[in-house]
């Protein structure tokens, strides 16, 4: 009987060792994938920063002014002036919506309050 318990215990230890071995390699694979993903995220952030810097460089006011001057014949762009803007009182706001009155509900138990008030307050 003792030998059966020893054999079962040894098999359980081997099974647990095999499971731990597999989990170790799975964990190492996930850690490697996580590091790869973190490197990709870092590279994407660097690319995004470069694109933002390029966008800021391309949208400089002096450069845009030069482009507008070069393409004036095609686009007809003019510089903005203060008199091109309207005043606040010139803005046409939409009218306030009328409140909807719902007369579809029937009055079932009406009470004459005027007679009730005269009886209570002579």
Q: How many domains does the chain have?
A: 1
Cβ neighbourhood burial of 2 (10 Å; 0-12, 13-18, 19+)? exposed
39 within a domain of the structure (yes/no)? yes
96 within a domain of the structure (yes/no)? no
Give the pLDDT band of residue 9 (cuts 50, 70, 90): very high
| 75 and 68 Cβ atoms separated by less than 8 Å | yes
pTM: 0.48
SS3 111: coil
Can you tell me the mean pLDDT for 19-27? 95
DSSP 112: -
Q: Phi and psi (nearest 5°) for 97?
A: -70, 140
Give residue 41's pLDDT: 97
106 within a domain of the structure (yes/no)? no
pLDDT digits (tens, 9 = 90+) for 57-111: 999 999 988 888 888 888 887 777 888 888 888 888 888 888 777 666 666 777 6
89 within a domain of the structure (yes/no)? no
119 within a domain of the structure (yes/no)? no
68 within a domain of the structure (yes/no)? yes
Structural domain including 29 reads 1-76
110 within a domain of the structure (yes/no)? no
Q: How many CB atoms lie within 10 A of CB 43?
A: 10
Give the pLDDT band of residue 19 (cuts 50, 70, 90): very high
102 within a domain of the structure (yes/no)? no
């Amino acid at each position: 009987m003792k030998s059966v318990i020893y054999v079962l215990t040894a098999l359980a230890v081997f099974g647990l060792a095999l499971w731990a071995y597999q989990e170790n390699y799975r964990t190492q694979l996930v850690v490697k994938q996580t590091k790869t993903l973190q490197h990709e995220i870092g590279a994407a952030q660097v690319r995004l920063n470069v694109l933002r810097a390029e966008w800021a460089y391309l949208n400089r006011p002096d450069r845009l002014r030069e482009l507008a001057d070069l393409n004036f014949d095609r686009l007809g762009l003019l510089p903005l002036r203060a008199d091109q803007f309207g005043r606040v009182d010139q803005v046409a706001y939409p009218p306030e919506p009328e409140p909807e009155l719902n007369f579809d509900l029937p009055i079932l138990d009406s009470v004459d309050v005027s007679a009730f008030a005269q009886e209570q307050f002579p």
